[in-house]
Amino acid sequence: METEKVFKVQKRSGEVVNFSFDKLRASLKHTGAGHDLISKIVDTVYDELYTGITTEEIYNRAYAMLKKNKEVYASKYKLKKAIYELGPTGFPFERFIAGILTYSGYECSVGLIVKGACVDHEIDVVAFKNNSGYLVECKFHSDRTNKCNVKVPLYIHSRYNDVKATWKDDRTLREGWVVTNTRFTTDAIQFGICAGLYLMSWDYPNENSLKDRINRLGLHPVTCSSLLSGREKDFLLEHGIVLCRDLINQEFMLDHLGISEERKERIISDMKQLCD
């Protein structure tokens, strides 16, 4: 490809920014695609770029080329979009976060009522590891332009302190967490650091963000699959099948959807590759 020109592209939020070929290459590399395929996609996108093109159009073009080459590449590429498909209630997202923590060595419970000094609190995920307890609040947004502002960690910090005041478990209540599928504002991060809260978003903290943990542990949601229909994904989520690993261990759930053996084998094979 010739020297890269600067193209203005429009994000979903309406913001206009310079398009980054480095970010495109990095996101394609995460799929496991080889150098030749990545170069082909980048060159094709470059040839089709024009000022004002939307990031959604660029994504769709890259996704189509990955899917044509290998299903699992496309499934991994749509990770961010797949997280949004865990909505709209947010409960599957809570189960998803609990699943990630469970595979990271935590003992997790979802939706527990925990007594506080002033009021009782329904905690999204209560997690224990190495004799320490963690209260995890999951903030799911179906609108990807919706960031978690400082009010969220302020609220969670207050709840954490209320629970800590009457904590009876022998295991030490160590920390409060806020996990979101979008991003935190700068002041939200600043408050979290100051107050001793652990914040995790799609791309924060660096090297240990939600995206990093999923890719590192191979814990993709079933919504990543490019072989399942929307109706089939909804059925699986309603029955507590959130992670691809869950479906591999309970593949009989596909029988309830009337999926043929041939298609079932393809789906499970795709899931296993996602978990590598």
How distant, in Å, are the alpha carbons of 9, 21, 64, 215 from that of 136?
36, 36, 36, 21
Q: What is the pLDDT of residue 245?
A: 94
What is the identity of the amino acid at 101? L
Q: By three-state DSSP, how is residue 223 classified?
A: helix
Does pLDDT of 82 surpass 60? yes
pLDDT tens readout for residues 201-223: 999 999 999 999 998 999 999 99
Cβ(183)–Cβ(199) under 8 Å?
no
Q: What is the pLDDT of residue 226?
A: 87
- Where exactly are the structural domains of the chain? 8-69, 91-217, 221-275
Cβ(118)–Cβ(162) under 8 Å?
yes
Residue 223 CB-density burial (10 A; 0-12 exposed, 13-18 middle, 19+ buried): buried
How distant, in Å, are the alpha carbons of 56, 77, 158, 214, 233 from that of 224?
17, 8, 35, 12, 9
Structure tokens at 195: 């107050």
pLDDT band at 4 (very low <50, low <70, confident <90, very high): low
Q: What is the pLDDT of residue 87?
A: 78
Q: What is the pLDDT of residue 149?
A: 96
Average pLDDT, the chain: 92
Segment 143-148 shows an average pLDDT of 88
Q: What is the CATH number of domain 91-217?
A: 3.40.1350.10
CATH number belonging to the domain at 221-275, selected among 3.30.70, 1.10.150, 1.10.3470, 3.30.450:
1.10.150
Q: What is the pLDDT of residue 52?
A: 84
Distance in angstroms (rounded) separating the CA atoms of residues 183 and 149: 9
Q: Model's pTM, two decimal places?
A: 0.88
**Backbone φ/ψ region at 208: left (φ over 0), alpha (ψ -120 to 50), beta:** alpha
Distance in angstroms (rounded) separating the CA atoms of residues 198 and 189: 9
Q: What is the pLDDT of residue 1?
A: 52
pLDDT band at 15 (very low <50, low <70, confident <90, very high): confident
Distance in angstroms (rounded) separating the CA atoms of residues 20 and 61: 16
Closest Cα to residue 169, out of 118, 217, 112? Answer: 112
Q: What is the pLDDT of residue 6?
A: 79
Does pLDDT of 2 surpass 60? no
What is the chain's Cα-based Rg?
A: 20
Q: What is the pLDDT of residue 42?
A: 94
